[in-house]
Copies of this chain bind each other. A is one copy, B any other.
Amino acid sequence: MSVTLKDVAQAARVSVSTASRALTGTGLTSERTQQRLVRIARELGYRPNPIARGLKTGQSRLVALLVHNLTNASFQVMAEVVQARLKALGYQMLLCIGGDDPQQESDTLTTLIDHRIDGLIVVPTGKNGAQLKALSKDVPIVCLVRRDDATDLETVLADDPQGAYLGTRHLIELGHKRIGLIVGRQDTTSGRERLSGYVRALREAGIARDYTLIHAGHFVPETGATCARKLLDLPRPPSAIFVANHEATLGVLRVTAERNIAIPDDLSLLCYEDMPWFEWHRPAISIVDNGARDLANLAVDRLLHRMDAKGNGSEGVREYRVGARLIKRDSCRQIDAPAPARSARPKSSPSKSSAAKSAKV
């Protein structure tokens, strides 16, 4: 079907081995034959067969990225970044979707190893530590976004404590004293760390912690709706809600919409992790950006480093943090101060405020 090394060798009247050496640049070949072979190979349209090469070298030029899903915007950009970087280096990305399901993760890992991938970036479920650990002897692995506590794998994490702290502090600086928090399950690292960042910011500001303002839940939109209702039904509802559970965002927005709560006039809203439409939304939604792009880039860096280092395993650093940053848009407002006087408008009626809000920009 396609041109083989043998064909090239024959055309050049040299042996296959010389051809191989000339084209891979390995070892000793005279300048002249080398160039001649390169030329002939190009003329013939020779493309090395990665499978045959892989059999001999044990490498596949395949690097896998295993994420939970493609719905989460962070995973999308990570996938795009990883693919772009790898491709530039001559690797193909094998994107796998594990659904955050341990069984599926385990199966996928197995077939990936079968395929002799050269490297793996994985967002672990946390339930297959043993397997990951075992595999890490055969192939470089980098964990992304989540740590698998059962392993000592190199891990690239978002700086969730910092992100949550930044977000909360931002709201405090705007004058908010009662800040509702909707956060992820407390048996996940991110859930715990975001809560701790929130708590720290409050403490620093000397604001007493109010447990009725803190809600943790599963990573689904429904969580957002439920928690938002609970918060808004409070005798003294919060003046701001920090949705630090990305997946819950939709639920929160639905509830505020249903109740005609104007953002940011009636309620300030700060979310976690970007979505492409947040800046198109009116009001554009302020967020804490977890740095998905940087995370992916760093993960690739670390992976490549390990792939080069070829198993001279234990270095010092095993955990990297990528800074979060605040992206201020229009969904949070200064409290106890007049709303920005951009458009002259009465202040009284609630319908007014909602109009003001949407009118903005």
Contact = CB atoms under 8 A, between A and B. Distances in A.
Interface of A: 1-2, 47-52, 54-55, 58, 60-62, 69-71, 76, 79-80, 83-84, 87, 90, 92-97, 107-108, 110-116, 138, 221, 250-251, 253-254, 257-258, 260, 262-263, 275-277, 280-282, 349-352, 354-361
Contact of A258 (B60, B107, B282): B282
A76 B49 CA distance: 31
A61 B51 CA distance: 12
Contact of A351 (B50, B107, B281, B352): B352
Nearest to A265: B358
Nearest to A361: B253
B83 A97 contact: yes
Contact of A355 (B69, B221, B254, B350): B350
A164 to B, nearest CB: 23
Contacts of A84: 97
A47 B110 contact: yes
A262 B92 CA distance: 48
A282 B282 CA distance: 13
Nearest to A257: B282
Given A221-B280, A251-B280, A351-B352, A55 B51 contact: yes
Contacts of A79: 70, 95, 97
Nearest to A90: B111
A112 B61 CA distance: 11
Contacts of A257: 281-282, 358-361
Contacts of A87: 107-108, 111
A347 to B, nearest CB: 12
Nearest to A69: B80
A71 B74 CA distance: 11
A112 B51 CA distance: 12
Contact of A250 (B51, B61, B83, B280): B280
5 contacts: A2-B138, A95-B95, A257-B282, A355-B355, A357-B358
Which of A47, A61, A263, A282 has the most CB atoms of chain B within a 10 A radius of its CB?
Answer: A282
Contacts of A361: 253-254, 257-258, 281
B70 A97 contact: no
A80 B97 contact: yes
Contacts of A111: 87, 90, 92
Contacts of A281: 253-254, 257, 361
Contacts of A48: 114
A130 to B, nearest CB: 15
Given A280-B221, A282-B257, A138 B355 contact: no
Nearest to A79: B70
Given A354-B354, A358-B257, A71 B276 contact: yes
A256 to B, nearest CB: 8
Contacts of A250: 276-277, 280
A162 to B, nearest CB: 27
Contacts of A277: 250, 275, 277
